[in-house]
Structure 1
C-alpha cells in the first residue's frame, strides 16, 4: 500500500458524507482526479469520471455515502432529534462523537439518550430506538440551536483512520470509502496505459446509494456501457462460535466475487468468470460468496437491452458503525485485480 493511497483513504474515511450530503466527498475525489480524466456531477450529486480507451466500455460503481442521520426536530432543550439515513445501528450511538451540518456548516456533537445508570429491567437488554436518542451540541435551548442548525440538516459519526496490528485498519465509512479510494487509484493507474491497451472506463462515485437512489442506473444508460462492476462490501461474521456456513467473508482472504445478492438474482456468469480468471492469472486471493446485501445500483442491469454485471466486494467487520475494520492485504488485492481488469 503506497503512502499516496493511504493518505487518500484516510482523508475519505474522515470526510463528512452521510446519505444525501455527499458533496464534500465528491469534491475531495474530484480534486484528486481532476486533470487525469473527465469529471462531472449529475443531478443526484454523484461524481462521474470518464477515461477514454479503445477497449470495451466498462462501468465501475462505488458509493460515497455513509450511514448517518437527518435532523427531524429540535426540542426545547436544544437537543437534535434524528432519524437514520441508511442502516445505522442505535446500539452504537450513545456517547459517540458526531458531526452535524450541511454543505456549508459543520458542528461537533455527542450522541445522547438515557444512560445505563438510570435504566432498569427491559431497558437494559433492549436496544434503544432512535426516537429516544438525540444529539447534544451544547446548546442551552431551542432558540440557540436554531441559529445554526435546521430541520433537514445531516449528521454522521466523526473519526479518522487508525492502524491496528497485523495489517488491520479501523475507521468510519470504510465499507464504502475503501472502494472509492481503490476506484480512484485504478483511474490513476489506467492513465499510464496506452489508450489502445485500456478499456473505455467510466467510474461512478454514487450518491444516495443507501437511500436506494443510486446514479448507476442513469449512468449505465448514458454511457452505453457494455459491462458494469459494482464495488461494495461484504460483512464478516467470523466469530469463534459462528457456524462455518454463516461466517460470511473472511478478512485477509482477498476480495469477494459475489455470484448472487438480494437485488441481482444472479450476476453475469461470463463476466464473473473473467474476474476469476484475472485473479487466478495474477495469483491474487479471492472469495466466491453469496452476498447478503442488496445494492440499489444493481438495478443498472435492467438498462437498455440489459447490462452484464458482476460485483466485487471488500470484506469488512462492523460495517456501517463508527469503526469499520478492513485488512490492508484485501485492499491491495482488490486494487491489483481491478488494475489488471481495466
Structure 2
C-alpha cells in the first residue's frame, strides 16, 4: 500500500522538483494531487510518465490525504497548512513560516531524524532554508567527532533561490548586456545581478545582518546544537542553480583534515571530491540535478586552534528544498505512517 500525497504549489520551481523527485525515488504513492492557485488552475505538470492537471488550492479538501508537501510562500501556507493539518494530513512545509516555532520540528533527515516524532504536536514539519540544509549535512558528522564551537560561512547563492523571477532577471539582464537599448533594470534583486554579486539576501535586520544570514544561525542551532556559534555572510551570485559555501569551522578538539575527509566520505548524503589539482573540486554547475551535497577543499586552518576549512556545493532546488522535503516524507512513512 502507498500514500495519498498532495503537492501544494505544483507549478513553481520547487513544486515541480518535488513531483520529479517523488517519481524518481519511487515514493509509494497510491494517489497524488497537484494544487496551485486559481490563476494556474488546470495547468499540466508531470509526475513521472503521468500528466497531472492542477487543482484549486482554495477549495481542496485535505480530509483523507496522508501528507502534503507545501511549496508556496508563507502567506498561503499560513492560510492552508493549518487546514490540512486539522484534517489529519501531515504538512511538510518548505516556507520559513514554521521553522522557528519550538513545537514544530525542523528536519534534515541525515542530521536529526529523531525529531520526526514531534510532528504530532501540530501535524506540521518544517523544511530548513536552502543554504542551511546543505551546510548542516556536512557539519553534523564532524560535530559528532570533535564538537563544533564556531562556524564562519560565506555563501554564493544562485538566483533560483529567489524563484522564477530571479532566474528570468538574470537571463534577461545577461541578454540585454549584448543588445544596445535592451538593458534590463533590477526588479527582483536590489542591484544588477548579471556579471555581478550582491551581498544582500532577504531584508536587513537591526544588527546589520540580513534575514538570510539570521536564518542560517537560528536553523543550525535548532537542527544541530544550540551551543554552536554561527556567523554568516550571504551573497547572491549570477548562477542559475546551485548554492556554494565557504565554511570555516572551529572545534573544541583537534580534528585532522585527513580524518575529517574520511568522516565526510562515510556520512550520509555527502560526496567528497577533494583532489589538490586543477579541477579537483565541485562547482555549482556540476551539481545540478544531483541529490548529494558535495564537499571539496578540505584543509586545516592554521590561524586558529582546531580549525578546518571546506567548500560545500549542492543543488538548492533539490537538497535545499524539494529533495529534503521528499526525504522527510520518506522518513515519516518509514517511521510513523507505516502502511502495507
Which of the pair has the greater relative contact order for Cα pairs under 8 Å at 6+ separation?
A: 1
Note whether the superposition's TM-score is higher than 0.5.
Answer: no
